[in-house]
């Protein structure tokens, strides 16, 4: 099990075995290209995480409230998933087995089977800082306080969570790919524009979500956080 504090997000239960087989082929120096399989697994896992952490709760809030802000946020989430599929498909062309090996090995260290109420399930886990764990716990308590009327501080904590998550999930793998300057610059530009759009949408939601829904958001987010008392 990872050492707290960390975030754990459900992924496909077939992913641990698929990643293990892929990693074994790469570490053994397989001559057959593993790019297509690696691209599919990484893309599917990325979209699973986006849906689990953001997409599902935003869709739920949209269905329950019909608020335009949730409609916009849902569109942003779908756009991010579309860009993820497009650009991961594009960079698959640069995936040699030698370049893939350290990246797949890195992802395998993040995937853990964890106990849940309905048995063990696969999760993708990554550490967060002690400071962020403290602020996240305080934010969840605040969201459950009936006197709370302002979601904006909670949104800023969520954005910090995303910023920390991007390191193990995106930037570390990208660095290990050792792309050339043009590809790396293109990807950095896409990431920057996409996250700016997402953060703007989340901040807008922070001014629109009715307080009676704050505890629902808190319950959803709390399931991902695993931290010792801080």
Domain membership of residue 188 (yes or no) is yes
- pTM value is 0.88
pLDDT level of residue 92 (50, 70, 90 thresholds): confident
- Note the pLDDT of residue 106: 95
CB 88 within 8 A of CB 42: yes
pLDDT of residue 181: 87
**Residue 102 confidence class, pLDDT cut points 50, 70, 90:** very high
Residue % of the chain over a pLDDT of 90? 65
- Biggest CA–CA distance in the chain, Å, is 62
Residues in the chain: 230
Q: Provide the number of structural domains found in the chain.
A: 1
Domain membership of residue 70 (yes or no) is: yes
User: Which residue in 7, 10, 1, 51 sits closest to 225, CA to CA?
Assistant: 7
- Residues of the domain holding 161: 6-226
> Which secondary structure element, helix H or strand E, spans residue 175, and what is its range?
helix 172-177
Tell me, yes or no, whether 126 lies in a domain: yes
121 pLDDT above the threshold of 60: yes
Q: What pLDDT does 17 receive?
A: 96
How does pLDDT run across 138-150, given as a tens digit for each residue?
Answer: 999 999 999 999 9
The answer to whether residue 177 is domain-embedded is yes
**Per the domain annotation, does 134 fall within a domain?**
yes
Percent composition of the chain: helix, strand, coil (DSSP 3-state, to 5): 70, 10, 20
Per-residue model confidence (pLDDT) at position 7? 96
Could you report the per-residue pLDDT of 152-189, keeping only the tens digit for each? 999 999 999 999 999 999 999 989 988 888 888 988 99
The whole-number pLDDT of residue 230 equals 36
- Mean pLDDT in residue range 18-32: 95
Q: What angle do CA 155, 66, 10 make, to 5 degrees?
A: 55
Residue 205 within any structural domain of the chain: yes
* Domain assignment present for 1: no
């Amino acid at each position: 099990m990872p050492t707290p504090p960390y975030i754990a997000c459900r992924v496909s239960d077939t992913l641990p075995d698929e990643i293990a087989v892929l990693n074994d082929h790469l570490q053994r120096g397989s001559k057959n290209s593993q790019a297509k399989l690696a691209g599919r697994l990484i893309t599917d896992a990325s979209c699973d995480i986006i849906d689990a952490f953001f997409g599902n709760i935003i869709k739920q809030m949209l269905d329950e409230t019909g608020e335009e802000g949730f409609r916009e946020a849902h569109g942003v989430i779908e756009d991010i998933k579309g860009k993820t599929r497009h650009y991961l498909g594009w960079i698959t062309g640069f995936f040699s087995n030698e370049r893939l090996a350290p990246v797949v090995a890195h992802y395998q260290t993040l995937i853990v089977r964890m106990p849940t109420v309905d048995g063990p399930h696969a999760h993708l886990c990554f550490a967060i800082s002690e400071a962020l764990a403290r602020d996240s716990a305080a934010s969840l308590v605040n969201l459950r306080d009936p006197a709370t009327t302002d979601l904006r501080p909670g949104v800023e904590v969520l954005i910090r969570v995303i910023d920390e998550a991007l390191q193990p999930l995106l930037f570390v793998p990208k660095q290990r790919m050792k792309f050339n300057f043009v590809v790396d610059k293109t990807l950095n530009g896409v990431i920057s524009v996409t996250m700016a759009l997402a953060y703007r949408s989340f901040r807008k939601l922070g001014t629109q979500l009715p307080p009676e829904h704050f505890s629902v958001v808190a319950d959803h987010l709390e399931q991902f956080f695993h931290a010792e008392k801080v």
